[in-house]
Chain A
């Protein structure tokens, strides 16, 4: 394999591979850990008039490490009647899909693991696989609560994958590319009716699509008000009921890393990704390989905070109400959005 220039360094392919593997682990675990501490521990505690963890580290910031240590120590129990193979691989399936999602997310002009031409298509397709892991977990647990949780997750996937993709179609039409770097560039260089001071962040020009996308993401991630697969007051913890120890931890990481992944996708598609508007700075500058990840992280954190804010404010829908919302409201609306985008694209 030929060597190529990364950040001005000459690296062999194997060196690049190691860097990429480490980078993707960093990209997955760092936001996941940040989200857990910042939102699940602290923001929610303040919302619920309590303090959250305070003992481990300053303001409880090491609590997550303590939790991970606890889960690793716990016994990994597999139910007697469980389908052992499926039961064991299900959490890995969930986590690996999240890792794969990050592959196509650009963190800077050159900071991208793989610059697919159909990047967004790849990300959405891969992220759907995690539901297979959930379904497998629900089935393999040999537990009725788990099975119902898994089936609910499958139903939810089918219902909410459509508005998710259709909302993205609007963005793709407007940007004219499925390449995520291309979408970032289109937003940075774009203009809103001739005004190019802030580029064209699609959460303004594709507002309807953004709203639909965020609702569908909330459902895709199974966060309240769409958390029927877990539904802790109905199904105990749904498909997670029989999991313990390291496998539970993997599911947990998968859940929060997925919030990070969808936060990154939402930030890239609708908020300009790693870039700032082109009118502000020269985006081809090498400094953006360093600033880009930070900018993207800040935007991801905004999206993640919003997701968790909704999660801890709303009650839960019922399964049939969720399906009704998807099929009778979101999908028609997203179709209208595509139509409007197409007309405007042709007109201007």
Chain B
């Protein structure tokens, strides 16, 4: 016990020192220090951004995270494998189902089980639905941060169509907990395919609407074009993933490049990239990705294979000893689970790689010299979920 207490004390001292360093750095020099957060409307959650200002211009800034740390990596160690999915779909709470998939895939890989094709296709479809639910909210949120309140309501309204479909299939709007080792909890309900296709049609209309209302607005363009430019090499150095990386012109999508058994390779879709790397590019790429996702869902539902939705798995799930790393292209970027098993009922250790943590790390680099409103634009366009940063 003594050793653990020492470790805790050491961690506490380290945290104090880090805080002290930030404060010292920002308090001693010229300029005004502005604490954006932990309670600030633009950080949608409890991210604290310490900004040093000269008038309205940002001299430097530093994100401070950890206000919402919920200890998921540690908590997984005292839960069985089926219990873990309940936890981890709360990491990125807007695209919950997508959080479950890589963990389940890692466990399946360790157990050498393969889910039947029907389960894989439904998984992929639900994965894309949660991506649409997540990113469509981003579209409204970005507009809201730039000051256009109305678009946010449209985003909430149309996201509901997708959430209804997720609820119809899984029983949960936000936290489906639907994925099982070896397949899915249930088959799709009757009539779901037609309803989902109608919802996808609605989402495509939403994209058109947003293109006119938000993207086509001159003020929106003036606020986002050339703001927060992240060159491709910088984006790669900071480990950005997802739409943030693709908006910098890097053609990298795990759905295409590292298929992990899901059905993305079975359908026809494009990886969207944009050469500019600015806030507008990030918005544009995400908006186009919603369209691509609706295409993917449509095609998946057309060609849904028949058969069982669950493989044969033992009643009590014990994962054999071993280590596995599975990462997928989640709504926010690359999300991966490194699962270490020692043959027990639950994982011995799980390392969760989330996209937002890396995506936010670029903030100090990209926010130098911009104005205060641009900080908000950049934060909104980088699009992070606090649960995804702090876990």
A234 contacts chain B at the CB level, 8 A cutoff: yes
Asked if A233 and B56 sit within 8 Å, CB to CB, the answer is no
In the complex, what distance in Å separates the CA atom of A337 from the CA atom of B71?
65
Q: Which of B34, B219, B375 is in CB contact (< 8 Å) with A316? A: B219
Q: Scoring B residues 362 to 379 as 1 if CB is less than 8 Å from chain A, else 0, what string do you get?
A: 000000000111111000
Within 8 A of B (CB), among A143-191: 144-145, 148
Q: Could you tell me if B144 and A320 are in contact, using CB atoms closer than 8 angstroms?
A: no
Interface string of A312-334 (1 = CB under 8 A from B): 11111111110000000000000
Judge whether A314 and B217 touch: CB under 8 Å.
yes
How long is the Cα–Cα vector from A319 to B143 in the complex, in angstroms? 17
Check: B41 CB closer than 8 A to any chain A CB.
yes
Expressed in whole angstroms, the minimum distance between the Cβ of A263 and any Cβ of chain B is 21
Q: Are A312 and B150 within 8 A (Cβ)?
A: yes
CB closest residue in chain B, given A224: B147
A48 to B147, CA, bound (A): 14
B148 close to A315 (CB less than 8 A):
yes
User: Bound state CA distance, A224 and B147, in angstroms?
Assistant: 7
Q: Is the CB of A231 within 8 A of B154?
A: no
- Give the residues in chain A near B154, CB-CB below 8 Å: 48-49
**Chain A residue contacts of B147, Cβ below 8 A:** 224-225, 227, 231, 233, 314-316
Is B41 within 8 A of A232, CB to CB? yes
Instruction: Point out which of B150, B217, B220, B376 has the most chain A C-beta atoms below 10 A from its C-beta.
Output: B150
Q: Are B32 and A315 in contact (CB-based, < 8 A)?
A: no
A233 touches B150 (CB 8 A): no
CB distance A233 to B148 under 8 Å? no
User: Which A residues, 98 to 156, have Cβ-Cβ distances below 8 Å to chain B?
Assistant: 144-145, 148
Taking CB atoms, residues of chain A closer than 8 Å to B74 are: none
Cβ contact within 8 Å between B150 and A318: no
Is B376 a contact of A314 with CB atoms below 8 Å?
no
Chain A's closest residue to B141 (CB) is A233
Contact call A313/B153, Cβ cutoff below 8 A:
no
Query: What CA separation (Å) do A228 and B223 show in the bound complex?
Result: 13
In the complex, are the beta carbons of B42 and A233 less than 8 A apart? yes
The 8 Å CB contact of A225, one of B32, B40, B219, is B219
Contact B42 A234 (CB under 8 A): yes
Known: A47-B150, A49-B153. A234 touches B219 (CB 8 A): no
* Contact between chains at B150 and A313 (CB < 8 Å): yes
- A233-B223 contact, Cβ under 8 Å, with A312-B149, A315-B217, A319-B56: no
Interface string of A32-69 (1 = CB under 8 A from B): 00000000000010011110000000000000000000
> B7 in the interface, Cβ–Cβ < 8 Å?
no
Give complex CA distance A1, B195 in Å: 79
On whether the beta carbons of A317 and B222 are closer than 8 Å, the reply is yes
Total A-B pairs in contact (CB under 8 Å)?
80
Smallest beta-carbon distance B268→chain A, Å: 34
A240 to B230, CA, bound (A): 35
| Given contact pairs A148-B372, A314-B147, A318-B374, A236 touches B56 in the complex (Cβ within 8 A) | no
Identify B34's interface contact among A47, A144, A227, CB under 8 A: A144
B80 to chain A, nearest CB (A): 42
**Alpha-carbon separation in the docked complex, A313 to B154 (Å):** 12
A17 to chain B, nearest CB (A): 43
Q: How far is the CB of B372 from chain A (nearest CB, A)?
A: 6
How many angstroms between the C-alpha atoms of A15 and B40 in the bound complex? 52
Known: A144-B32, A315-B148. Is A48-B373 also a contact (CB below 8 A)? no
Q: B143 touching A315 by the CB < 8 A rule?
A: yes
Alpha-carbon distance A319/B147, docked complex (angstroms): 13
Residue numbers in B under 8 Å from A231 (CB-CB): 147, 373
> Chain B nearest CB: distance from A229 CB in Å?
12
Q: Least Cβ distance of A153 to chain B in Å?
A: 13
With both beta carbons as reference points, the residue of chain A lying nearest to B373 in the complex is identified as: A318
Instruction: Please provide the chain B residues from 159 to 180 with a CB less than 8 Å away from any CB of chain A in the complex.
Output: none
Q: B372 touching A316 by the CB < 8 A rule?
A: no
Query: Which residues of A from 289 to 335 have beta carbons under 8 Å from B?
Result: 312-321
Contact of B153 among A48, A144, A318, A319 (CB under 8 A): A48
Question: Which residues of chain A are within 8 angstroms of B274 by Cβ–Cβ distance?
Answer: none
B9 lies within 8 A of chain A by Cβ? no
| B148, A319: Cβ atoms closer than 8 Å | no
Q: Does B263 contact A (CB under 8 A)?
A: no
Question: How far is B222's CA from A227's CA once the two chains are assembled, in angstroms?
Answer: 16
Say whether B150 contacts A48, CB under 8 Å.
yes
Identity of the chain B residue whose Cβ is nearest the Cβ of A318 in the assembled complex:
B373
Chain B residues, CB < 8 A from A313: 148, 150
- B222 adjacent to A233 (CB under 8 Å): no
Residues of chain B within 8 A (CB-CB) of A50 are: 153
Name the residue of chain B whose CB is nearest to the CB of A228. B373
Name the interface residues of B203-243: CB closer than 8 Å to any CB of A: 214, 217, 219-220, 222-223
**Contact present for B376 and A148 (CB under 8 Å):** no
Between-chain CB contacts (< 8 Å), 12 pairs: A47-B150, A48-B154, A144-B32, A148-B56, A224-B149, A228-B373, A312-B150, A315-B217, A316-B373, A318-B371, A318-B373, A319-B373
Binding site for A on B (CB under 8 A): 32, 34, 40-42, 56, 143-150, 153-154, 157, 214, 217, 219-220, 222-223, 371-376
